[in-house]
């Protein structure tokens, strides 16, 4: 006989498809330049975040989330980084000596050195950009070796004559975690006392196949956490900047209803440095999820364009393919400025109720509320019908009804009696047909009626002649 336990499962499907206090809290798992690996950190301000953890993709993702009005609590776990950082070959444009870049980058950079004035080393001057040329430093005098502040990188200027307006470009990738590193970081995240509903796993794997493997691994881990830790989470992952066909092929057989794969990249303004970096759409999506009401469709136009997104490199409204393949993408709308989320897609299989993240988040909040309430009944007693009754051994109707009422009350507290209201209705019903004396088991069925979402809107406009209508009426 198993030890006493309370188990809550999500039934899927149920819709027939052919906010608790922690609902908006998110935990970022991402690389930082400072801090202790696999340690759970909590922040409310960007200044504290930067002071303690320095720089890096994880810091940038957490800072963007903290910069959005209405954000929930932001936590961060710095993972081990088994994948080394790297710098591409420097590409010159001009006739001067070849500048070299070395070191371990602390973040992802699109580096550009531009010569400002001619001359030899020690005389020629230059400016440097880390965001592809959008923002440059003040003028610097060349030297044989120049440590680029706050990056972990060093630029080397060999002897020779430098020519004004020559440029030297390269890309840097920060160190990254592998799946083993991620699993250890996830364990550290759920070992923390505060609850959170959203995981933002920062960093795109090198290939589409690697990203699909990551999605499947994260799904297995989140299902395990739900079963063993009673923590119901949805995760956002990044996918690489590769052709759509590669992503569609790699993810075709992935079934991960707890994972949101964010495709496409955007020029995203750093909440720390105000530079604009090419980042995964996951940065903007995670920031929006952390501030949006629990039940809000992530593509809701009335909520406004995405904060911090200066431009997008892939527009689902122009190239309509990845949304249908269950990726979360960014898009434009004719007549509106800015950039928007198409849908908050989850990698759920066909027929699942949980095709979109807001529905998954609603279910997760319900699971937490029901678990907490049912735990109070663990090893408690209920009355059953007596021997001479046809329902002998089954739970007494009055006791069952009392539990129904309590469960509905807690569900209404987090889903119905809220502003905004997150669902249309809830219902809880204890199963009356089980012989409690034989099984020592109580079962309850929870039904949630979600809100409807207006994804396709049609209007018909026609010219009309009032005089003709009057004649027809006569």
Report the C-alpha gap between 33 and 171 in whole angstroms. 18
DSSP 433: S
Number of Cβ within 10 Å of residue 20's Cβ equals: 22
Classify the C-alpha dihedral 291-297-303-308 as positive or negative: positive
Of 185, 215, 232, the C-alpha closest to 79 is: 185
Instruction: For residue range 198-209, list pLDDT tens digits in order.
Output: 999 999 999 999
Q: Residue 372: which residues within 8 A CB-CB, separation 6 or more? A: 410
d(CA 426, CA 451): 11
DSSP classification of residue 59: H
pLDDT for residue 420: 94
pLDDT in tens, 56-101: 999 999 999 999 998 989 999 999 999 999 999 999 998 899 999 9
φ/ψ of residue 49, rounded to 5? -60, -50
pLDDT band at 466 (very low <50, low <70, confident <90, very high): confident
Task: Reply yes or no on whether the pLDDT at 12 is more than 80.
Answer: no
**Is the backbone peptide bond immediately before 366 cis, with ω within 30 degrees of 0?**
no
Instruction: Look over the chain and give the mean of its residue pLDDT values, rounded to a whole number.
Output: 94
Chain centroid to Cα 391, Å, comes to 49
Following DSSP, what letter does each residue of 441-472 receive, concatenated? ---EEEEEEEPP-------------HHHHHHH
Contacts of 442 (CB under 8 A, 6+ apart): 374, 377, 382, 395, 403, 430, 431, 434, 436
pLDDT of residue 18: 38
Query: Rounded mean pLDDT of 23-48?
Result: 95
DSSP strands (E only) in 221-329: 234-238, 259-262, 265-269, 276-280, 309-312
The proportion of the chain whose per-residue pLDDT surpasses 70, expressed as a percent, equals: 95
For residues 456 and 433, give the distance between their C-alpha atoms in angstroms, rounded to a whole number: 43
Query: Cα(first)–Cα(last) distance of the chain, in Å?
Result: 82
Give the β-pairing of 276-280 and 265-269.
Answer: antiparallel
What are the CA-CA distances from residue 466 to residues 201, 325, 348 (Å)?
61, 48, 52
Contacts of 448 (CB under 8 A, 6+ apart): 362, 363, 366, 411, 415, 423, 425, 426
Higher pLDDT, 466 or 313: 313
Amino acid 23: pLDDT: 80
pLDDT of residue 19: 42
| Contact predicate 400/406, CB 8 Å | no
> How far apart are alpha carbons 376 and 473 in whole angstroms?
68
Sketch the domain layout of the chain as residue ranges.
26-82+176-341, 86-173, 381-474
d(CA 393, CA 386): 7
Cα 364 to Cα 76, 104, 175, 306, 371, distances in angstroms: 21, 40, 32, 25, 11
Q: Would the pLDDT of 4 be above 90?
A: no
Query: Residue 57 to residues 31, 173, 200, 288: CA-CA distances in angstroms?
Result: 6, 10, 11, 17
- Residue whose token pair is 């400072």: 34
Give the DSSP letter of residue 142: -
Exposed/middle/buried for 363, CB within 10 Å: 0-12, 13-18, 19+?
buried
Q: Cα angle vertex 347, ends 342, 352, to 5°?
A: 100
Phi, psi of 326, rounded to the nearest 5 degrees: 80, 20
- Cβ neighbours, 10 Å, residue 435: 15
User: 106-139, pLDDT tens digit by residue?
Assistant: 999 999 999 999 999 999 999 999 999 988 999 9
- Of the candidate CATH numbers 3.40.50.10140, 3.10.129.10, 2.40.128.30, 3.40.50.11780, the domain formed by 26-82+176-341 belongs to 3.40.50.11780
Asked whether residue 432 carries a pLDDT value surpassing 70, the answer given is yes
Q: Residue 85: which of 150, 154, 175 has the closest Cα?
A: 175
**How distant is the alpha carbon of residue 342 from its chain centre?**
14
Question: Which burial class, exposed, middle or buried, applies to 163 when counting CB atoms under 10 A from its CB (0-12, 13-18, 19+)?
Answer: middle
Q: pLDDT band for position 8 (50/70/90)?
A: confident
Long-range contacts (CB closer than 8 Å, 24 or more residues apart) made by 123-131: 124/157, 124/161, 124/162, 126/162, 128/155, 130/275, 130/277, 131/275, 131/276, 131/277, 131/278
17: pLDDT confidence band, cut at 50, 70 and 90? very low
Residue 221 DSSP class? H
């Amino acid at each position: 006989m198993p030890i006493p336990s309370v188990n809550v499962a999500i039934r899927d499907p149920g819709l027939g498809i052919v906010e608790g206090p922690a609902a908006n809290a998110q935990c970022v798992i991402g690389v930082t330049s400072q801090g202790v690996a696999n340690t759970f950190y909590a922040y409310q301000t960007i200044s504290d975040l930067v002071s303690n953890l320095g720089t890096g993709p994880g810091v940038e993702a957490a800072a963007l989330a903290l910069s959005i009005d209405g954000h929930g609590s932001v936590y961060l776990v710095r993972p081990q980084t088994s994948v080394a950082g790297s710098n591409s070959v420097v590409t010159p444009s001009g006739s001067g000596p070849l500048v070299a870049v070395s070191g371990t980058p602390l973040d992802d950079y699109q580096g550009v050195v531009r010569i400002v004035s001619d001359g030899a080393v020690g005389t020629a001057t230059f400016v440097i950009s880390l965001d592809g040329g959008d923002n440059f430093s003040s003028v610097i005098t060349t030297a044989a070796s120049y440590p680029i502040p706050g990056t972990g990188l060093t630029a080397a200027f060999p002897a020779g004559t430098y020519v004004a307006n020559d440029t030297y470009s390269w890309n840097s990738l920060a160190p990254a975690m592998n799946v083993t590193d991620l699993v250890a970081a996830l364990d550290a995240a759920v070992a923390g006392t505060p609850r959170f509903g959203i995981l933002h796993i920062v960093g795109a794997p090198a290939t589409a196949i690697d990203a699909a493997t990551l999605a499947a691994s994260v799904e297995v881990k989140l299902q395990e956490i739900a079963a063993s830790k009673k923590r119901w989470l949805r995760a956002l992952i990044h996918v690489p900047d590769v052709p759509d066909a590669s992503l569609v092929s790699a993810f075709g057989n992935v079934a991960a209803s707890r994972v949101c794969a964010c495709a496409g990249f955007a020029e995203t303004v750093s909440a720390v440095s105000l530079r604009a970096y090419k980042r995964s759409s996951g940065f903007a999506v995670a920031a929006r999820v952390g501030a949006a009401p629990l039940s809000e469709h992530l593509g809701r136009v009335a909520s406004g364009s995405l904060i911090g997104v200066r431009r997008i490199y892939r527009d689902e409204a122009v190239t309509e393919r990845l949304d249908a393949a269950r990726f979360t993408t960014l898009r434009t709308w004719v007549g509106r400025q800015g950039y928007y989320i198409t849908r908050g897609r989850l990698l759920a299989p066909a027929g699942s109720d949980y095709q979109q993240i807001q529905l998954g988040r609603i279910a997760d909040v319900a699971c937490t509320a029901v678990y907490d309430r049912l735990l109070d009944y663990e090893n408690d007693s209920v009355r059953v019908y007596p021997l001479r009754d046809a329902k002998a051994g089954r739970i007494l109707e009055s006791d069952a009804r009392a539990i129904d009422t309590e469960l509905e009350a807690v569900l209404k507290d987090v889903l119905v009696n809220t502003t905004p209201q997150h669902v249309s209705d809830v219902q809880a019903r204890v199963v009356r047909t089980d012989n409690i004396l034989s099984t020592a088991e109580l079962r309850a069925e929870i039904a949630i009626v979600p809100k409807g979402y207006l994804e396709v809107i049609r209007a018909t406009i026609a010219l009309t002649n009032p005089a003709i209508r009057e004649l027809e009426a006569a």
